[in-house]
Amino acid sequence: MRRSSRRRIGQTPRTSWRASAGGRPPEDVLEMPTVLVGGTEQIVNDLERRRAEYGITYIVVRDGHLAHAAQVVQRLAAAR
């Protein structure tokens, strides 16, 4: 989970995306159901869409991202 306001691909250098994505184009990475990029609202929207589309109900979050994940969980819980 990467919390960032740089959701739009044009704002991030392609070379950094390619290096962290195994050479895949940024457009493909943003559509991967296992990748979460954006601010809290964007990630909440992506998770809701992916739950509906793929049936994903659990995700794994690294320790370093728990504070950001807590905000996402709060938003998801409030929406129910």
Q: What one-character DSSP code corresponds to residue 64?
A: G
Please determine, for residue 72, whether its predicted confidence score (pLDDT) is greater than 90.
yes
The rounded mean pLDDT for the chain is 79
> What tokens appear for 68 in the block?
């950001």
39 versus 34: which is more confidently predicted?
39
The Cα 9–Cα 13 span in angstroms is 8
35-59 pLDDT, tens digit per residue, is 888 899 999 999 999 999 999 989 8
Please determine, for residue 23, whether its predicted confidence score (pLDDT) is greater than 90.
no
Residue ranges per structural domain of the chain: 2-79
What was the pLDDT predicted at 9? 47
Please determine, for residue 77, whether its predicted confidence score (pLDDT) is greater than 80.
yes
